[in-house]
Amino acid sequence: MLPEAPGLERTAQKLGRLARRMRLGAEDVVLPEQGGNVSVSGRNAIFALFSPTTRRLTTVIWVAFFAVMFGFYFVNSWTPKLLVTAGMTESQGVVGGLMLTLGGTFGSLLFGVLSAKWAARKVLIAFTVLSSVLMVVFIAAVGILALAFVLGVLVGTLINGCVAGLYTLAPASYIPLSRGTGVGWAIGIGRFGAILAPLAAGTLLDASWTAGQLYLGVGVVVLVAAAALALLRSPGAGSQQPAPAEAAAQAAKAE
């Protein structure tokens, strides 16, 4: 059972009574951490995200989600048209967009493989930095079709891996009581970036920005996510392990 699951306290008490009837000692039973009051909800739950111990974490996670989603939706929404603006034909621009999609199918898998060997935060920072750099190189390479298409696959892979990385890192960063609220709000903030990116790109394109300038600007935004993640320090470290065996004994006494 997840530590933040509703009714965890009642379930723990039932498990404790069952353990007593089965004549199991405290050393035989380890219950999940209850984390105190599991009924924190609504406004209090939101305020808890900005408590002294979590305000830095929340700010970093929100910035990272906004910046990554901004870059992800810009790349997937505007790449075909911007490739045409940069000098490709319409059919070549469509192929360039398909290369991004093709790369995206491998992004989550690659992140999973790498995060199994190294810390997820470090892998995610590497993905965001490389995404930022390759975006600029990608749009600058439109004159060399083969190279541009290969770079398109790489950009799609990396930016998709960034999204997968955030969905992996965010839940693990919050303590159980704040996890649902923290991740939910982070995803919501990311949606703002997803909505704003296509609108901002269209507005700047109408203002005579070139494709290279747009990709450079979005690359900087994605780089902000890397800087934010470098500051990430989770308050949940060490607090998400199962409760000690004594918790079973306490639950067994509760009626």
- pLDDT digit string, tens, across residues 50-73: 777 778 888 999 999 999 999 999
Residue 19 CA to residue 237 CA, distance in Å, equals 29
Residue 247 CA to residue 244 CA, distance in Å, equals 6
CA neighbor of 173 nearest in space, from 223, 221, 120: 120
Q: What is the pLDDT of residue 46?
A: 74
41: region left, alpha or beta (phi > 0 left; psi from -120 to 50 alpha): beta
Which structure tokens are listed for 174?
């919050």
Over its C-alpha atoms, the chain yields an Rg (Å, rounded) of: 23
CA 120 centroid distance within chain: 11
Q: Kindly give, in sequence order, each residue whose CB lies less than 8 Å from that of residue 249, ignoring residues fewer than 6 positions away.
A: 16, 25, 26
Q: What is the pLDDT of residue 42?
A: 54
Measured in degrees and rounded to the nearest 5, phi and psi for residue 64 equal: -65, -45
Task: Kindly give the interhelix angle for 176-206 and 145-173, rounded to the nearest 10 degrees.
Answer: 150
Which structure tokens are listed for 175?
């303590």
**pLDDT per position as a tens digit, 127-167:** 999 999 999 999 888 888 889 999 999 999 999 999 999 99
CA neighbor of 181 nearest in space, from 33, 36, 70, 54: 54
Low-confidence ranges of the chain (pLDDT < 50): 1, 34-39, 236-255
**Residue 75 amino acid letter:** V
For the chain, the first-to-last Cα distance in angstroms comes to: 21
Q: What angle do CA 162, 167, 171 make, to 5 degrees?
A: 140
Is residue 156 within 8 Å of 103, Cβ to Cβ? yes
Q: What is the pLDDT of residue 193?
A: 92
CA neighbor of 162 nearest in space, from 224, 207, 209, 214: 224
Q: What is the pLDDT of residue 80?
A: 87
